[in-house]
Amino acid sequence: MIRQLASVAMLALGLTGLAQAETQTETEIKALYEHFVSAQNARDLPRVRNALWDSPSFVWISDGKPFWGRDALIARMSAFQKAEIWSVMPDRTRARVVEVSPVSAVLYQPLRLTLGPRSNPKTIAFLVNVLCIRTPDGWRVAALYTTEENPN
């Protein structure tokens, strides 16, 4: 009886460990987003652009408005990045990856964006959902849906 209980306990512990391990897709999606954030914080718009899906169907929903195509995102982001302060700080502890298919996944990513003049920067809490797709060149961001986080 004790051996059976020990076997069940070992199996349960083993399955718990498996459930907590990241899949390869989760690791790759998080790496893509790290690259994307690093490029933004470095104000390296060519690197930002490279992380995006090269399609007119790429969309960024920002302030309740759609911006279609990666060139539209780059134009809008370049305007924001003229601020003295621009810093994207993802809350990695709350990030979640949802694998939709072998070629698509959604990253839920809370973050804080600090931007504005050095004398009075503003920090905004955002919730970002990032649709990622696997392309022949690797994972790319295909859509960004952003909204301010509601603390209530």
Kindly report, residue by residue over 86-126, the tens digit of the pLDDT. 999 999 999 999 999 999 999 999 999 999 999 999 999 99
Q: Report the pLDDT value the prediction gives residue 19, as an integer from 0 to 100.
A: 54
pTM: 0.83
Q: Rounded to whole angstroms, what are the CA distances from 20 to 13, 26, 88, 138, 148?
A: 11, 12, 27, 25, 29
Q: Is residue 103 in a domain?
A: yes
Q: What is the pLDDT of residues 13-48, one digit of tens each?
A: 444 445 578 999 999 999 999 999 999 999 999 999
DSSP type of residue 83: S
Q: Is residue 86 in a domain?
A: yes
Cα dihedral sign, 33-77-57-91: positive
Average pLDDT (50-59) is 97
CATH number, domain containing residue 74: 3.10.450.50
Q: Report the pLDDT value the prediction gives residue 80, as an integer from 0 to 100.
A: 87
Structurally, how many domains does the chain consist of?
1
Q: Report the pLDDT value the prediction gives residue 81, as an integer from 0 to 100.
A: 87
Give the pLDDT band (50/70/90) at residue 5.
very low
> What's the rounded Cα separation, in Å, for the pair 141 and 137?
12
Q: How many alpha carbons fall within 13 Å on the CB side of residue 36?
A: 26
Q: Is residue 5 in a domain?
A: no
Q: Is residue 9 in a domain?
A: no
Average pLDDT (123-133) is 97
Q: Is residue 6 in a domain?
A: no
Q: Report the pLDDT value the prediction gives residue 15, as an integer from 0 to 100.
A: 47
Q: Is residue 65 in a domain?
A: yes
Residue type, 48: V
